[in-house]
Amino acid sequence: MDIRNSQYASIGQITNQYLQKRKTNFDQTNSANSVSFSDLLESKKNEASSDTYEVTLKFSKHANQRVESRNIELSGEVLQRLEDGTRKAQEKGIKESLVMIDSLAFIVNVPSNTVVTAVTENENKIFTNIDGAVIA
Question: Are 27 and 33 within 8 A, CB to CB?
Answer: no
pLDDT tens per residue across span 49-61: 555 555 689 999 9
Neighbours of 2 (CB within 10 A): 5
Reduced to 3 states (helix: H, G, I; strand: E, B; else coil), residue 39 is helix
pLDDT tens per residue across span 87-130: 999 999 999 999 999 999 999 999 999 999 999 998 888 999 99
Identify the H or E element spanning 108.
strand 104-109
Percent of the chain residues topping a pLDDT of 90: 53
Confidence grade of residue 43 (pLDDT, cut at 50, 70, 90): confident
On the question of pLDDT at 3 being above 60, the answer is: no
| Mean pLDDT, residues 4-27 | 66
On the question of pLDDT at 15 being above 80, the answer is: no
Instruction: Write down the pLDDT at residue 30.
Output: 52
Q: How many CA atoms lie within 13 A of 70 on its CB side?
A: 20
pTM for the structure as a whole: 0.60
pLDDT tens per residue across span 63-75: 999 999 999 999 9
| Mean pLDDT, residues 44-52 | 59
